[in-house]
């Protein structure tokens, strides 16, 4: 996701994000595959950590 945002020249901190329809075989700590809102700061921090 970080690569997509960088290619689109979008800083995640500038927006609030509704994350939905996540399909993964790994669920990192503090994350849920259930649809949810992230603040821009939360999403940026999550992407930096994972």
Q: How far apart are CA 41 and CA 19, in angstroms?
A: 14
Task: Name the residue ranges covered by the structural domains of the chain.
Answer: 1-21+32-45
pLDDT per position as a tens digit, 18-43: 989 888 788 888 777 789 999 999 99
Average pLDDT over residues 4-15: 95
Neighbouring residues of 32: CB distance < 8 A, sequence distance ≥ 6 = none
Residue 49: which pLDDT band, with cuts at 50, 70 and 90?
confident
User: Cα separations (Å) of 17 from 1, 12, 20, 24?
Assistant: 13, 8, 10, 18
**Closest to 39 (Cα-Cα) out of 11, 4, 7:** 11
| pTM for this predicted structure | 0.74
């Amino acid at each position: 996701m970080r690569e997509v945002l960088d290619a689109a020249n979008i800083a995640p901190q500038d927006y609030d994000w509704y994350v939905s329809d996540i399909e993964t075989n790994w669920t990192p700590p503090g994350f849920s595959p259930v649809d949810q809102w992230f603040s821009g700061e939360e999403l940026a921090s999550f992407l930096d950590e994972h």
